[in-house]
Amino acid sequence: MLEVLQVRPQAGVPGGLIIIDCRGFDASDYADCEVLFGETPGRIVSASPDRVLVTVPDDVTKADRLTGLQLMSAGRTSPRIPFLVAELLAENMHPVANPVCDPETGAIFTTISGSRGKKVEVSVWRISQEGQSTPFLDNVMNPTGLAIDREGTLYITSRHDGTLYRVSPFREVVPVAENLGIATGLAIDRMGNLFVGDRQGTIYRVTPFGEVSPHARLEPSMAAYHLAFSPDGHLYVTAPTLAGTRESIYRVTPGGEVEPWFVGLGRPQGLAFDRAGNAYVCASLNGLRGVIKITPDGQEAEPFIAGARLVGLTFDNRGNAILASNHEIYRVPVGVIGYDPARA
């Protein structure tokens, strides 16, 4: 009997590596082995009678995305088991941090950040719920962090000029605070204060009136800071370094004290929280890259979504994860409602 026992994780973007624990898989003849995502085969990386490693295929159909997967070998076929393949919403982008989702319209905002100092034709894009991409802004150089406050106002950091910008309803870009270093990560707390991560090592606090003060100090990052608030009221930070698979998520208290919260990730980047306080971070864990889910106490972690090049994520108000890779935006229905301190 050929049987699938477990799939880890149970969702993925094309190219993501998943592990299938199984029983009775005949791997003696690779030409006779398949893993079908719906009706589309994935690429088998390695296989044994009780475990198969496979990548999520690129060319899945709309029906394939929600159909699940099954194994085939030696003329036998396993029953299907649930698996979700992410839907491609947009490509030819260049996000370097989390996308954001407007809770009123469901629209997604993301960036073409570009090389530092290089101006692109359109720097911020708007993606409708139906997946239609339209140009939104063209006058912010190297946009990086994005956030939306409780009034629906979009904020953007520029790592080119170290400025935090506010976008008016008429798409006018207004500086809110300047001289913020290499401004990358961005998050808003319950009071409307904005926190900006300077990858040189400072996290700045910017009040709604534009008053700036240093809030915390960390080690400089080789790429960017990524910031998110948890329901516990603390600010959480990732900052990719050269520490290999022992990198940390840091917790910053309201008073600015910094401590490691979870250790053991590879190149952690974008992160978000759900309403129960679970953390979701784009990182590697035990050799698997994608979105890693961590319990509120920071004691347990597991792969949640497979994805080789994911750099950021957010959740919309319909239970979808919105995922950003180096060049694409994906959506996958995972049944998670994200925590938004601006609306808590």
Q: What pLDDT is recorded for position 243?
A: 66
- Is residue 64 a contact partner of residue 37, using CB atoms and an 8 Å limit? yes
Report, as ranges of residue numbers, the positions in the chain whose pLDDT lies below 50: none
Please tell me what DSSP assigns to residue 79. P
What are the DSSP E strand ranges found in 149-211?
A: 154-158, 163-167, 173-177, 183-188, 194-198, 202-206
pTM: 0.96
- As annotated, the residues of the chain forming the CATH 2.120.10.30 domain(s) are 87-343
- Look up residue 20 and give its two tokens: 């299938």
CATH architecture type of domain 87-343: 6 Propeller (2.120)
- Look up residue 304 and give its two tokens: 């949640």
Q: Using alpha carbons, select from 223, 222, 201, 205 the residue that is nearest to residue 214.
A: 205
Coil, strand, or helix at residue 224?
A: coil
Give the DSSP H/E element, type plus range, for residue 212. Answer: strand 212-217
- As annotated, the residues of the chain forming the CATH 2.60.40.10 domain(s) are 3-85
CATH architecture type of domain 3-85: Sandwich (2.60)
pLDDT in tens, 37-68: 999 999 999 999 999 999 999 989 998 998 99
**Do the bridges between strand 329-333 and strand 87-90 make them parallel or antiparallel, or are there none, so unpaired?**
antiparallel
Q: What pLDDT is recorded for position 292?
A: 98
In whole angstroms, what is the distance from residue 209 CA to residue 235 CA?
Answer: 20
Q: Any residues with CB less than 8 A from the CB of 311 and at least 6 apart, and which?
A: 95, 96, 97, 269, 270, 282, 324, 325, 326
